[in-house]
Structure 1
Amino acid sequence: MMSLIQLVYVSRLVGDESVLRSIHSHAVRNNTVHTITGKLLYTNGRFLQLLEGEPKQVHSTFAHIKQDARHSDVTLLLEQTISERAYTHWNMDFKHLSDAELEQLSAYKVYFQDNFSAFKVQPYIALEILRYCV
C-alpha cells in the first residue's frame, strides 16, 4: 500500500485576482501529472490549500509553491499521514469565496485576517473550513 499525506498551508496572493485562473490551471496540470489531489480556497487575497498524495510528490509541489512569485507568506499549517484521500475526484478543486460567502462563515472570518495567527493556533480548523466550503 502506498503512503499518503495531506499537507495544508495558507499564503497571500501577490498581484491582482487576474492570475487566479492561471494559478488554478497550472495546479490542475501539475497535480494531474503527479497524482496529487486537493482543494484550493481563495478569499480576499488569501489562499488556503490542501494537497494530498505521495509524500515525495506533495513535498515537491509545496516547494514549487513556496518559490512561486504569485504567493507570499506561505505558511505550513498541517502535515499528516492519511489512509485514503479526501478529494479522490479532484486534481484541484477550486473555490473563490465572495465577501458575502465569507460573511456566512462568520465563525471562520478571523482565520483569513492578519498574519493567519488564528490558523497557527488551531490548524485543524483549516480542514473544517475546506470541508465546509463546497
Structure 2
Amino acid sequence: MVFINLRWSSNMHLIQLVYASRLVGDESVLHSIHSHAVRNNTAHVITGKLLYCSGRFLQVLEGEPAQVHRTFEHIKADPRHSDVTLLMEQAISERAYAHWNMGFRHVQEQELEQYPAYKAYFKDDFSALQIQPLIALEIINTFV
C-alpha cells in the first residue's frame, strides 16, 4: 500500500469513475499494472483502488475530470486489459480514497467464497454490474 499526501483546493471539481475489465495474459503482469498505476496516478493527482480476482478487475479512480478521463483512456488502450466497461461516473465533493494513489488488492478465489453474493460479478460479462454499479463500489470496499 502506498500513501500519499495530496493538497488541493476545496472548490476543485472532482469525479469518481468506476470500471470493470478483464486481464489479458497471466497474473505475472499484476505487479507491473499496479506499479504503472502508482506512478501515473501520483503524477496526475489521481486516487483510487484496484481490485483483482479471477481474471477480472474492478477499479475506482478519483480526481479532476480531465485527468481521470485521460487515465481511463490509457486503461482502455492498454493491451493488458480487455472488455473495459464503464460502470459509473459521478461528481464527488471529496475523495473516498484520498490516502491511496492506487490501493491494490488481489482477492483469492477462496476469499471470494466467503462472499457468495459477489461471486457472480467475477464470472459474467459485467452486465450485472452495469445494472447495479454501486455494487462495484461495495465489492471494492469490502476487500480493504
Are residue 52 (structure 1) and residue 33 (structure 2) matched? no
Paired position in structure 1 for 2:75: 65
Q: How many residues align?
A: 134
- TM-score scaled by length of structure 1: 0.98
How do 1:1-134 and structure 2 match up within 5 A?
1-134=11-144
Question: How well do the aligned residues superpose, as a CA RMSD in angstroms?
Answer: 0.6
For residues 15-62 of structure 1, the C-alpha deviation after alignment (integer angstroms, 9 at most, x for no partner) is: 000000000000000000000000000001000000000000000000
Percent identical pairs in the alignment equals 73
Question: 1:108 is paired with a residue of what secondary structure?
Answer: helix
TM-score (norm 2): 0.92
Query: Which one-letter code corresponds to 2:113 in the other structure?
Result: E
How far is the alpha carbon of 1:75 from its aligned partner? 0.2
Following the alignment from structure 1 to structure 2, what is the Cα–Cα distance between the partners of residues 111 and 44?
A: 10
Q: Structure 2 unaligned runs (5+)?
A: 1-10
* TM-aligned CA deviation for residue 132 of structure 1: 1.1
Regions of 4+ moved over 3 Å: none
Q: What are the ranges of 5 or more consecutive residues in structure 1 without an aligned counterpart?
A: none
The match for 2:8 is none
Q: Partner amino acid for 2:114?
A: Q
Q: Which amino acid aligns with 1:93?
A: G
Q: Distance in 1 between matches of 2:124 and 2:110?
A: 19
